Amino acid sequence: MRTALIGYGLGGAAFHAPFIATTPGLTLSAVVTGNPERRAEVRARYPDTALLDAPDDVWRQAADFDLVVVTTPNRYHASHARSALEHDLDAVVDKPFAGGVAEAKALATLAETRGRRLVPFHNRRWDGDFRTVRRLLAEGVLGDVHRFESRFERWRPEVKDSWKESGDPADLGGIVHDLGTHLIDQAVALFGRPRTVYAEVRALREHARAHDDAFLALTHDNGVVSHLWMSALAEDQGPRFRVLGNRAAYVKHGMDPQEERLKAGVTPGGPSWGIERPDAWGTVSGTPTPTEPGAYQTFYATIAAGRTPVTAQDAITGLEVVEAAFASAATGTTVSLAN
């Protein structure tokens, strides 16, 4: 599949391009970026890849591509995805998938009408620690789970001049859109669409224009409660996962190693890819438990095989939770999701 990658910031450079370029059945045909330094990086690492200045260049050459990957600033995700679909191209769209539920549903309808694949990029379903949680649940090691705790916490006390920390609602900045979308997607993937959402969303840092600290509580139909924390002001960070069942508990600290390796320019692949050091493993009732290998490569391998690794409906559900969370935080109430 001839692939055009729109955007070459951290997402494009670390999470998309290396996998598109190394996945059998995919070709990194073009990268869209107007930034001179990023263009130089693409030339050095992917010398056979064409460089385009703007998304309009992709639409003018739509017949030369099969797939578009959208990893631009959040405010452009939905519009670029719509343009790809209107030009009869499959589309992978970084999170957040759209600005809201209505916009996401419209995109899904357009994709169905056009007969194209529209795939939300929720690569953290292939984090090694999350894969371990899935395995433990499937094997029944923990028994009946009653609480799922999940955290993405960072220590970034200084506010950055970035669209991710913009106070303009159109930028879709803030920590719920940035980190929360991952946590919500993982909880929904494990336990299904919640029936209620309670949230506390705050801006804590001096001069913060966007929310930078949040807590969400999701109650699922099977009785599991998901407690999700995300923060830019956590100097002491809690466990990445704490999953409590009536037989045992799984506790895991630290982050999946794939991201740091990708940021360092490591090409994914090989037998050691995604393997975590034993001293970083989580525990089941105090006993160290090997972490499943991280496998971000599975996302694009599934795309190349003609299948859909994450559905548009999954992203719509995630955005329903996001909208309910903001409503809950604004009113101080628990919000029920409509059936």
pLDDT digits (tens, 9 = 90+) for 100-112: 999 999 999 999 9
Mean pLDDT of the chain: 97
The Cα–Cα gap between 190 and 130 comes to 10
Percentage of the residues of the chain whose pLDDT score is greater than 70: 100
Last residue of a domain, one of 121, 151, 178: 121
Number of structural domains in the chain = 2
Asked if residue 30 has pLDDT above 90, the reply is yes
The Cα–Cα gap between 206 and 196 comes to 32
84 Cβ contact list (under 8 Å, min separation 6):
58, 68, 70, 90, 91, 116
170 & 311 share domain: yes
The Cα–Cα gap between 8 and 15 comes to 10
Residue with tokens 């994709």: 111
The Cα–Cα gap between 176 and 150 comes to 14
83 & 172 share domain: no
Question: What per-residue confidence (pLDDT) applies to 283?
Answer: 98
DSSP state of 47: T
183 & 307 share domain: yes
Percentage of the residues of the chain whose pLDDT score is greater than 90: 98
251 & 232 share domain: yes
57 & 85 share domain: yes
Question: Looking at per-residue confidence, does 339 or 297 come out higher?
Answer: 297
Helices (H), the chain: 10, 17-22, 36-45, 55-60, 77-86, 101-114, 128-139, 175, 181-191, 258-263, 297-304, 312-331
Residue with tokens 């499937």: 138
Write the pLDDT tens digit of every residue in 33-87: 999 999 999 999 999 999 999 999 999 999 999 999 999 999 999 999 999 999 9
Question: What per-residue confidence (pLDDT) applies to 338?
Answer: 83
184 & 321 share domain: yes
The Cα–Cα gap between 225 and 221 comes to 9
The Cα–Cα gap between 241 and 282 comes to 9
Overall average pLDDT of the 19-39 stretch: 97
24 & 77 share domain: yes
158 & 297 share domain: yes
Helix (H, G, I), strand (E, B) or coil at 151: strand
Quick one: which of 328, 6, 290, 25 has its CA closest to 141? Answer: 290
Q: Residue 35 is part of a domain; what is its CATH number?
A: 3.40.50.720
172 & 26 share domain: no
Token representation of residue 294: 């991280």
The Cα–Cα gap between 116 and 91 comes to 8
178 & 276 share domain: yes
The Cα–Cα gap between 213 and 174 comes to 9
Start-to-end Cα distance in the chain:
38
Q: Residue 170 is part of a domain; what is its CATH number?
A: 3.30.360.10
Q: Which helix (H) or strand (E) holds 252?
A: strand 249-252
Write the pLDDT tens digit of every residue in 307-339: 999 999 999 999 999 999 999 999 999 999 987
Token representation of residue 298: 């599975």
Question: What per-residue confidence (pLDDT) applies to 257?
Answer: 96
* Inter-residue contact 234 to 240 (CB < 8 Å): no
The Cα–Cα gap between 132 and 282 comes to 9
Q: Please report which confidence band the pLDDT of residue 32 belongs to, taking 50, 70 and 90 as the band edges.
A: very high
Strand 2-6 versus strand 67-70 pairing type: parallel
Domain range for 86 = 2-121
Phi, psi of 295 (to 5 degrees): -145, 55
Last residue of a domain, one of 102, 121, 140: 121
Question: What per-residue confidence (pLDDT) applies to 339?
Answer: 77
231 & 106 share domain: no
Phi, psi of 201 (to 5 degrees): -125, 125
245 & 295 share domain: yes
Last residue of a domain, one of 64, 99, 121: 121
Q: Count Cβ atoms within 10 A of the Cβ of residue 24 and give its class: 0-12 exposed, 13-18 middle, 19 or more buried.
A: exposed
Strand partners for 230? 152, 214
Overall average pLDDT of the 138-145 stretch: 98
Token representation of residue 327: 């409503």
Helix (H, G, I), strand (E, B) or coil at 117: coil
Within 13 Å, how many C-alpha atoms sit on residue 249's CB side? 13
